[in-house]
Amino acid sequence: MRFEATPIPGAMIVAQQPISDERGSFARTYCRDTFAVAGLDFVPVQESLSKNRARFTLRGMHLQTAPHAEQKLVRCTRGAVFDVAVDLRPDSPSRGRWFGLELSADNGLSLFIPRGVAHGFLTLRDDAEVFYLIDVPYAAGSATGVRWNSPVFAIAWPSAPAVISDRDSQWPDDA
């Protein structure tokens, strides 16, 4: 695995380094020791899978608050998504900044999202799947978010959403 910093401290792009031969390829997508060497204390306790039927489905911007604040490793296992992180940490030097990139089954990239950073994505193809490793169990009472099109963050989405939940369209502009 190769780790690349983003403009949001603690958020990292994680690239697979596959080994290929005549059978195909093999790559590690998570290793506790390798993450620790990269300075990331991340031990997943939950896996989640988001299946999305239609292109331009938007999910986000989500996070869990303390005491259930979570870290996530997110990758697209089918199709492609525009994946976004927004720094909501009060004392962060990048508070209010966002970072986005394409995650796809083809490019094999993952995005590590630290605690206090909201996450969301817009599908770029029909039938996109997003796989999550999460370090704390989901706690509905700690779930919150910010609006995907908040002028506070001015995320440059590649398209307006065609499908979005009522909850995601009604989050506040800021946390």
Q: What is the pLDDT of residues 141-169, one digit of tens each?
A: 999 999 999 999 999 999 999 999 999 99
Q: Find out whether 111 and 83 touch, Cβ atoms under 8 Å.
A: yes
29: DSSP letter:
S
Q: Which residues of 17-52 are buried (b: 16+ CB within 10 A; e: fewer)?
A: eeeeeeeeeeeeebeeeebeebebebebeeeeebeb
Q: Is residue 167 part of a domain?
A: no
Examine the pLDDT at 131 and tell me if it is beyond 90: yes
pLDDT the model gives residue 92: 98
Position 23 confidence tier, pLDDT thresholds 50, 70, 90: very high
Q: Which of 30, 68, 119, 132 is catalytic?
A: 132
Q: Where are the alpha helices (DSSP H) in the chain?
A: 32-37, 166-169
Q: Which of 30, 62, 119, 138 is catalytic?
A: 62
Q: Is residue 49 part of a domain?
A: yes
pTM of the predicted structure, to 2 decimals = 0.97
68 is catalytic: no
Domain CATH code at residue 151: 2.60.120.10
Q: Is residue 146 part of a domain?
A: yes
pLDDT the model gives residue 175: 84
pLDDT the model gives residue 71: 98
Print the domain residue range for 100: 2-18+28-162
What tens digit of pLDDT does each residue of 59-104 get? 999 999 999 999 999 999 999 999 999 999 999 999 999 999 999 9
Q: Find out whether 116 and 89 touch, Cβ atoms under 8 Å.
A: yes
Q: Three-class SS of residue 70?
A: coil
30 is catalytic: no
Total structural domains within the chain: 1
